[in-house]
């Protein structure tokens, strides 16, 4: 990896199978970032545990499953460091150190915190650890001295908190250790779920990346369409139709024609869905193939994650030593 390149850190929580929303909202962006940045892509298993600690059995396998999808999408372990957060103990070490200097008021007022406490049902999130969620995220970012953090809009307060923590550390210890990271907002063309709401596992409206073709066809067949179009002879409204929106994302070169035919009532919703499901089947082919190739053995992935953790640690160790010196724990 070259010295001049800026660093990027991002992570995903292994809490389930990845779906088309992850592809459009994050993975395609990660793939592009590899061209210009030194990237660290992390399976955020500690972060997953913070909400799933009552049922943690699947975190380990979801980690492998998610990484398989990353690889199938073109995240390349030769170019980027792919690792699991819990394999690099420096994450929790830096988390502890940053916790010491982070004022309680700063974490209590993070909007995602209050929102999740209110909205997530069936989980007890009133734990000491969960309050520290964004501080652990700050540790993830600062451990690698990342300049840029690709995130969705919902994560902006966490990047902002990270910047505040940087300034506080520099002020308290009278030295500059970290760059202030910027958020690289994914201008994700919002992909709606099969019911028109945001695609999300908790709404049960997803199409998973590794879904079987027959299942994809069955799901697409049941998708919500333009409610203002009742008969095929009614003109369609592709700009607001849930199904039509997918054309622009998955087959941009065919989108204009499909939309035009829909508007002129030449294309009915049944045909539209049938053709779209083939487009999605084709776009998700690599995700099924990688599973067929691995054949259920995660050994290769584990080996790759171990190699990634080694690379990550070689950077992380250096930062931790610097931070411990600044905090006065070890000699200069």
Question: Does residue 42 contact residue 10 with C-beta atoms inside 8 Å?
Answer: yes
CA distance 315 to 53: 29
Q: Quick one: which of 33, 141, 216, 301 contacts ligand TRP (CB under 6 A)?
A: 141
Rounded to a whole number of angstroms, the minimum distance from the CB of residue 148 to ligand TRP is 10
Nearest to 136 by CA among 186, 93, 187, 73: 93
CB of 10 to ligand TRP, least distance (A): 4
**Residue showing tokens 């030593």:** 321
Q: What's 27's DSSP letter?
A: I
Least Å distance between CB 83 and ligand TRP?
A: 12
Q: For residues 20 and 281, what is the distance between their CA atoms, to the nearest angstrom?
A: 11
Query: For ligand TRP, which stretch binds (CB under 6 A), given 3-11, 182-190, 245-253, 301-309?
Result: 3-11
Instruction: Kindly state whether residue 45 participates in binding ligand TRP, applying the rule CB under 6 A.
Output: no
- Give me the least distance between CB of 256 and ligand TRP, in Å please: 33
Residue whose CB is less far from ligand TRP, 137 or 277? 137
Binding segment (CB under 6 A) for ligand TRP, from list 11-19, 203-211, 214-222, 271-279: 11-19
Among 137, 147, 210, 319, binds ligand TRP (CB under 6 A): 137
Using alpha carbons, select from 26, 36, 43 the residue that is nearest to residue 84. 43
User: Residue 33 corresponds to which tokens in the numbers above?
Assistant: 């970032």
Which 261-320 positions form the footprint of ligand TRP (CB under 6 A)? none
Binding-site string for ligand TRP from residue 144 to residue 183, where x marks contact by CB under 6 A and - marks none: -----x-x---x----------------------------
At 83 the three-state DSSP class reads strand
The residue from 7, 47, 267, 273 that contacts ligand TRP (CB under 6 A) is: 47
Comparing CB distances to ligand TRP, the nearer of 182 and 240 is 182
Q: How far is CA 246 from CA 159, 258, 269, 278, in A?
A: 30, 11, 13, 12
- Least CB distance to ligand TRP at residue 15 (A): 9
Minimum CB separation from ligand TRP for residue 251, in Å?
Answer: 28
CB 107 within 8 A of CB 128: no
Out of 7, 11, 25, 238, the residue judged to bind ligand TRP by CB under 6 A: 11
| Nearest CA among 198, 115, 123 for reference residue 155 | 115
Under rule CB under 6 A, how many of the chain's residues touch ligand TRP? 13
* Minimum distance from residue 313 beta carbon to ligand TRP (Å): 17
Torsion of CA 323, 326, 331, 332, to 10 degrees: 100
The Cα 312–Cα 330 span in angstroms is 22
Q: Could you give the residue ranges of the DSSP H alpha helices within 174-212?
A: none
Question: Residue 211 gets which letter from DSSP?
Answer: -
Q: Under the rule (CB under 6 A), what is the footprint of ligand TRP?
A: 9-13, 44, 47, 137, 140-141, 149, 151, 155
């Amino acid at each position: 990896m070259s010295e001049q390149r800026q660093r990027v850190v991002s992570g995903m929580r292994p809490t389930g199978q990845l779906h088309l929303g992850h592809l459009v909202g994050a993975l395609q962006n990660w793939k592009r970032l590899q061209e210009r940045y030194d990237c660290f892509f992390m399976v955020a298993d500690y972060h997953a545990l913070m909400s799933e600690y009552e049922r943690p059995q699947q975190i380990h396998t979801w980690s492998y499953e998610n990484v398989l999808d990353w690889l199938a999408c073109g995240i390349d372990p030769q170019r980027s460091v792919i690792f699991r957060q819990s394999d690099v103990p420096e994450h929790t070490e830096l988390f502890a150190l940053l916790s010491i200097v982070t004022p309680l008021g700063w974490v209590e007022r993070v909007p995602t915190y209050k929102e999740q406490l209110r909205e997530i049902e069936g989980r007890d999130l009133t734990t000491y650890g969960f309050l520290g969620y964004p501080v652990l995220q700050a540790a993830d970012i600062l451990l690698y001295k990342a300049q840029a953090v690709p995130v969705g809009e919902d994560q902006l307060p966490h990047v902002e908190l990270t910047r505040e923590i940087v300034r506080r550390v520099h002020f308290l210890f009278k030295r500059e250790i970290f760059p202030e990271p910027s958020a690289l907002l994914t201008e994700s063309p919002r992909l709606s779920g099969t019911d028109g709401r945001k695609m999300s596992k908790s709404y049960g409206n997803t199409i998973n990346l590794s879904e079987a073709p027959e299942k994809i066809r069955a799901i697409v067949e049941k998708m919500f369409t333009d409610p203002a179009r009742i008969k095929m002879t009614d003109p369609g409204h592709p700009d607001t139709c849930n199904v039509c929106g997918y054309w622009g994302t998955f087959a941009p070169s065919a989108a204009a024609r499909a939309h035009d035919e829909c508007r002129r009532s030449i294309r009915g919703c049944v045909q539209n869905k049938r053709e779209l499901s083939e487009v999605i089947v084709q776009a998700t082919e690599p995700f099924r193939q990688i599973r067929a190739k691995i054949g259920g053995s995660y050994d290769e992935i584990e080996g790759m994650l171990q190699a990634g953790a080694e690379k990550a640690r070689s950077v992380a160790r250096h930062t931790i030593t610097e931070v411990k010196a600044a905090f006065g724990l070890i000699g200069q």
